Amino acid sequence: MQPDLSRLDELLADRGVDGYLIDADATVSDQRYLSGFDAPDPFVTLYDGELHLLVSSLEYGRARTESRADDVARRADFDYRAKREEYGPDEADHRVLAEFLADRGVDSVLTPSRFPLAPADGLQELGVGVSAETDDVVTEIRATKTGEEIEHVRTAQRANERAMARAEELLREASVEAGENGDVLVDGGETLTSERVRREIEMELLRHDHALDETIVACGADAADPHDRGSGPLRPDEPIIVDIFPRGKESKYHADMTRTFVRGDPSDAIAEWYDLTVEAMEAALDAVEPGATGEEVHAAACDVYEAAGEPTLRSDEATETGFIHSTGHGVGLDVHEQPSIAPGGERLRPGHVITIEPGVYDPDHGGVRVEDLVVVTEEGHENLTGYPKELVVGGR
Amino acid sequence: MQPDLSRLDELLADRGVDGYLIDADATVSDQRYLSGFDAPDPFVTLYDGELHLLVSSLEYGRARTESRADDVARRADFDYRAKREEYGPDEADHRVLAEFLADRGVDSVLTPSRFPLAPADGLQELGVGVSAETDDVVTEIRATKTGEEIEHVRTAQRANERAMARAEELLREASVEAGENGDVLVDGGETLTSERVRREIEMELLRHDHALDETIVACGADAADPHDRGSGPLRPDEPIIVDIFPRGKESKYHADMTRTFVRGDPSDAIAEWYDLTVEAMEAALDAVEPGATGEEVHAAACDVYEAAGEPTLRSDEATETGFIHSTGHGVGLDVHEQPSIAPGGERLRPGHVITIEPGVYDPDHGGVRVEDLVVVTEEGHENLTGYPKELVVGGR
């Protein structure tokens, strides 16, 4: 895949700087996207119309064959060892980087907002102009996906659906037995825990070439905190939030989906919140189209909750119950990326892949969240999610 | 676990600055270590003798209960919304951060070397002194492990050994059959590939509550590149490098181990390199003791290779064959951390956990690498690795 970097070209021309510089490992998605290279330790990518990489000797062979760089240099090309002896390892790194830039006629660079401070200082001391660009143009460019990237996300959501089905099956087929602190779900003679369901989800993802280290399987009070991963026994009659956001082991693209299940009889509050949340999701989805902003989509979800008397962060910035997060976020190389479906959220374009995931939380009742993944199209959106929305998965 | 931050206290006093500031998500191990908090999006940790966190509303509840902070603030406490409307999201972030620091009487901060540039610039514009500290004191502090941390690493290495045994079993029990481009290993009627062995390794790790997304299973020419993960059919008579570096799903601590296997008959070159590599490992291990430097341990391995006529990066900085990487690295929250067992490598202290992993590579023959994980003790070292070193795993 060749990214369309015309907005980056325009930005460099507008600012009158020579190049765009990234110093990061490939877990930083702007680095992976721009360089087309995957390495575990930090390396340098320079874009000045052409793409140049500066890597360690260890990565040199692979960078030449696997990255999309026009040329690849290594630190040894700049007498790194002699510099390290003269200046120490940190200043040697900065001097090598300055020479790499000078060799390519680059006197000034724009960087991502989170470019590392010490190399920036080092380059400036050596006379290179360095300015951080707060809008993160590569992050913005990669928010708009090509057809190939959308296929990667679609494939990841298919794996996600198989994993969700495995989780639902475990909850549905468990027996309900008396535990030390009330009834619990039991499977194969053992108490069914968040940890056990999480492991089964991750095994199912691996079988389909996807990986995930942080699945949420949160029951009862755990479910009242949107980022609590959950732990311990799963109980009947309580909401169990299952939020799965796998990444393709080869493609590196994510999917994202959440369902809330109750095995047994949900409380009236939970049943009501579930219906309200599905209604908020539908209202938000109706608002998804090119030209709408993330803020407008978020507002559509807030309207539904507030009309029903539930607090939102829009109605009360400091509330700790109700709808206490944004409506969604972009998904791609990062599981959280642009655009933001929240106050201040960007204008939607065709090719944006976003979640819609309203939810309600209260420590007294637990939480409810439902999340689909959609792609913005010329006409509106296509829902990439094929999983049913059903709260109750079997009686007691 | 309460980290011993006395070196950080001394550094702040020496430099005459008020606090140490990290702005990063919990995948940055200094952040995880100092804050004791795990969150997927960036948050702020300030250490000024006490520990202060600044998080989003979404993380507020969890940060108060799970982190080791003395106090937790959230952006809403500083009128974030009004600031965002007046200044835009980026400057609003910087202003909130500056007020958070001012409230705690902090006018100047020291940061890690890779502190993000835009917040550093933003704070400086608001009158806060910001200087990047190139030695990364928290990275240095966490290189020395407590008994509890060493137990986490030991547990991870046990899971690693089970996964390695599963890989070896697959290679040993495969049949050898004619493929399109020469003989290949076959298991259950299907060609045994790098991808298949990798999946089985990762499933075995998951069964033991460890995770890994980047296992190396590299055969033949792939094995000649130390960072090539490997792909496609596995072949008899060729070296297969298996390098596994899992992380505890709860503990977040890593282990690391490599073995090289040949199913069938290794070439004379590979057999010779294997013996030489085990010899280099033993020489390096003999050099591991408190007070020795990483550079000295690396030199012991280089001596063995160079005496046998193999090039090393010490004898030829630009060589692409021979021993073309360092002898090892620290292992902990990061799979690559301090100390470095390489030129310039730090002085070893009791509690350092390090790999010893010499290897030889040549595109004409493939590669050989063997890696154990050891902890530096008062007396010398303890090898945390209980896996045998045997090149040949069954005849043709």
What is the band of A213 on the pLDDT scale with cuts at 50, 70, 90? confident
Which of A66, A62, A67 is CA-nearest to residue A46? A67
CB count within 10 Å of CB B317 equals 17
In degrees, to the nearest 5, what angle opens at C-alpha A66 toward C-alphas A63 and A69?
Answer: 65
pLDDT of residue A185: 98
pLDDT of residue A273: 97
Question: Residue B297 is inside which H or E element, if any?
Answer: helix B294-307
Q: List CB contacts (< 8 A) between A227 and chain B.
A: 39-40, 58-59, 62
Query: Chain A within 8 Å of B118 (Cβ-Cβ)?
Result: yes
- Which among A117, A213, A343 has CB closest to B211? A213
Judgement on whether residues B133 and B153 belong to the same structural domain of the protein: no
Q: List CB contacts (< 8 A) between B26 and chain A.
A: none
Residue A388 lies in a domain: no
Contact B368, B226 (CB under 8 A): no
- For strand A353-356 and strand A372-376, is the pairing parallel, antiparallel, or unpaired? antiparallel
Judgement on whether residues A178 and A325 belong to the same structural domain of the protein: yes
Tokens linked to B310: 């193999």
Q: List residues bridging with B13 in a β-sheet.
A: none
Q: Among the three residues B141, B159, B179, which one is the final residue of a domain in this structure?
A: B141
pLDDT at A300 over 90: yes
pLDDT tens per residue, range B25-51: 999 999 999 999 999 889 999 999 999
Picking from A75, A130, A209, A227 by the largest number of B CB atoms within 10 A of its own CB, the best residue to mutate is A227
Contact B51, B42 (CB under 8 A): no
Q: How close A62 comes to chain B (CA, Å)?
A: 7
Count, in order, helices (H) and strands (E) of chain A.
11, 21
pLDDT of residue B133: 85
DSSP string computed for B68-97:
--SEEEEGGGGTHHHHHHHH-HHHHHHHHH
Calculate mean pLDDT across residues A56-79.
92
Judgement on whether residues A26 and A94 belong to the same structural domain of the protein: yes
pLDDT at B298 over 80: yes
pLDDT at A317 over 90: no
Residue A390 lies in a domain: no
pLDDT at B232 over 80: yes
pLDDT of residue B209: 93
CB count within 10 Å of CB B378 equals 9
Q: List CB contacts (< 8 A) between A89 and chain B.
A: 344
Cβ–Cβ gap A227/B39 under 8 Å:
yes
Domain count, chain B: 2
Cβ–Cβ gap B225/A61 under 8 Å:
yes
pLDDT at B92 over 80: yes
Residue A36 lies in a domain: yes
Tokens linked to A323: 């709808």
pLDDT of residue B171: 98
Calculate mean pLDDT across residues B77-105.
95
Q: List CB contacts (< 8 A) between A81 and chain B.
A: 317, 343
pLDDT of residue B3: 86
Residue A375 lies in a domain: yes
Q: How far apart are CA B2 and CA B50, in angstroms?
A: 12
pLDDT of residue B205: 96
pLDDT tens per residue, range A328-366: 999 999 999 999 999 989 999 999 999 999 999 999 989
Judgement on whether residues B100 and B188 belong to the same structural domain of the protein: no
Contact B33, B8 (CB under 8 A): no
Judgement on whether residues A127 and A180 belong to the same structural domain of the protein: no
Calculate mean pLDDT across residues B378-390.
97
pLDDT of residue A57: 82
Contact A362, A225 (CB under 8 A): no
Residue A40 lies in a domain: yes
Q: List CB contacts (< 8 A) between B89 and chain A.
A: 344
Query: Chain A within 8 Å of B308 (Cβ-Cβ)?
Result: no
Percent of chain B with pLDDT over 70: 100
pLDDT at A302 over 90: yes
pLDDT of residue A135: 81
pLDDT at B373 over 80: yes
Judgement on whether residues B49 and B132 belong to the same structural domain of the protein: yes
pLDDT at B75 over 80: yes
Judgement on whether residues B247 and B360 belong to the same structural domain of the protein: yes
What is the band of A177 on the pLDDT scale with cuts at 50, 70, 90? very high
Residue A313 lies in a domain: yes
pLDDT tens per residue, range B113-149: 999 999 999 999 999 999 998 789 999 999 999 999 9
Judgement on whether residues B79 and B211 belong to the same structural domain of the protein: no
Q: Which amino acid is at B333?
A: L
Calculate mean pLDDT across residues A257-284.
97
**What is the domain-level CATH number for residue B187?**
3.90.230.10
Judgement on whether residues B233 and B371 belong to the same structural domain of the protein: yes
What does the mean pLDDT of chain A come to? 95
Residue A391 lies in a domain: no
Who's near A86: CB < 8 A, 6+ residues apart? A92
Which of A168, A170, A246, A248 is CA-nearest to residue A213? A246
What does the mean pLDDT of chain B come to? 95
Judgement on whether residues A132 and A148 belong to the same structural domain of the protein: no
pLDDT at B280 over 90: yes
pLDDT of residue A48: 97
Tokens linked to A43: 């390396």
Question: Residue B133 is inside which H or E element, if any?
Answer: strand B129-133
Residues 94-113 of B with CB under 8 A from A: 111, 113
Q: Is pTM, for the whole model, over 0.90?
A: yes
Secondary structure class of A110 (helix, strand, coil): strand
Cβ–Cβ gap B61/A320 under 8 Å:
yes
Phi/psi region, residue A273 (left: phi>0; alpha: psi -120 to 50; beta: rest), is alpha
What is the band of B169 on the pLDDT scale with cuts at 50, 70, 90? very high
pLDDT at A218 over 90: yes
Tokens linked to A289: 């189209």
Tokens linked to A206: 């691996």
Question: Residue A142 is inside which H or E element, if any?
Answer: helix A137-143
**What is the domain-level CATH number for residue A124?**
3.40.350.10
Instruction: Supply the range of the domain harboring residue B25.
Output: 6-141
pLDDT at A181 over 90: no
Calculate mean pLDDT across residues B348-356.
98
Question: Residue B30 is inside which H or E element, if any?
Answer: helix B29-35
Q: How close A395 comes to chain B (CA, Å)?
A: 30
Which of A219, A137, A144, A133 is CA-nearest to residue A181? A219
Query: Chain A within 8 Å of B364 (Cβ-Cβ)?
Result: no
Residue B395 lies in a domain: no
